[in-house]
Structure formats: structure tokens, C-alpha cells
Amino acid sequence: MSNKIRTNTNPRQVIRIRKKERIRKKIVQHMGSISRLVVYRSNKFIYAQIVDDLKGNTLAQANTGEDSFASFKSKKNIEAAKKLGSLIGQRAVEKKVEKVLFDRNGYEYHGRIKALAESAREAGLKF
């Protein structure tokens, strides 16, 4: 995202970008010493990935567009987010990643984001 916020940008998006910048400043302090769990919501799916910023690669990823979510009626609701959190948690533990920073990407910590985080904690991730 660019640092410049245009005047014709959606006000909700402007608020999210500012939150994202504040969160990013806190994450930069620990960058390289610990991996981060990044969450992104689109209109159709929810995405989660664990990124190692020191090496610049993705250690594990999961999204609700995968085949394991085919039985779900909606792939963007709280139930799908819970399953996604447990799935990313399992994949992270398989890759021997136990401690991560939670990068909520400017989204408020409630609803789908909160459900994903809590189920990832239950699966064995610590953050």
C-alpha cells in the first residue's frame, strides 16, 4: 500500500490503512526474530499465511478456497474462519513454528479475525 492516502479513497479504507500502519510499526520491532501470521479477508475468501521476514519466504499458508472447505456453505463466515485457524495452526506446527506475531492487517479484532486467532491458538500456536 502506498503511504499517500488520496482524498477520494473510501473512508473505511483510510481508517484501515492507518490502523495497518500503526500495527506495522509494532511488528517491525520484532521483525526477523519471529515469524508472523498474516490474515487477509476478501469478499469471497479468508487467507492466512506464516511469513519469515528475515528470509523473505512463506513457511505455511491456508485459505478457504482450498478443497477441504468444499463442504462449507459459505467460505467467509466465522465457522470457516475457525477451521482455517486450526488448519494454519496444524501446518505451522508441522513446520516446527510455534511462536508467531499476529498481523491482523488493519482489521478489527472481532468476528472472523478473532475466530481465526483463537482456533490457531488452540491448534498450538503462541502469540
Which pLDDT tens digit goes with each residue over 6-53? Answer: 666 788 888 888 899 888 888 888 877 889 999 999 999 999 999 998
Pairing mode of beta strands 100-103, 35-41: parallel
List domains and CATH numbers for the chain: 32-122 (3.30.420.100)
Cβ contact 41:63 at 8 Å: no
What pLDDT, on the 0 to 100 scale, is given for residue 100?
A: 93
CA nearest to 48, candidates 67, 61, 66, 59: 61
Cβ contact 54:32 at 8 Å: yes
What pLDDT, on the 0 to 100 scale, is given for residue 13?
A: 85
Q: Identity (one letter) of the amino acid at 31?
A: M
The answer, yes or no, to whether residue 4 has pLDDT greater than 70, is: no
Identify the H or E element spanning 39: strand 35-41
- Whole-angstrom distance, CA of residue 40 vs CA of residue 95: 21
What pLDDT, on the 0 to 100 scale, is given for residue 28?
A: 85
> Can you read off the three cell numbers belonging to residue 47?
487467507
What pLDDT, on the 0 to 100 scale, is given for residue 6?
A: 63
Ordered alpha helix ranges (H), 1-127: 11-28, 78-94, 112-122
Please give the model's pTM, rounded to 2 decimal places: 0.84
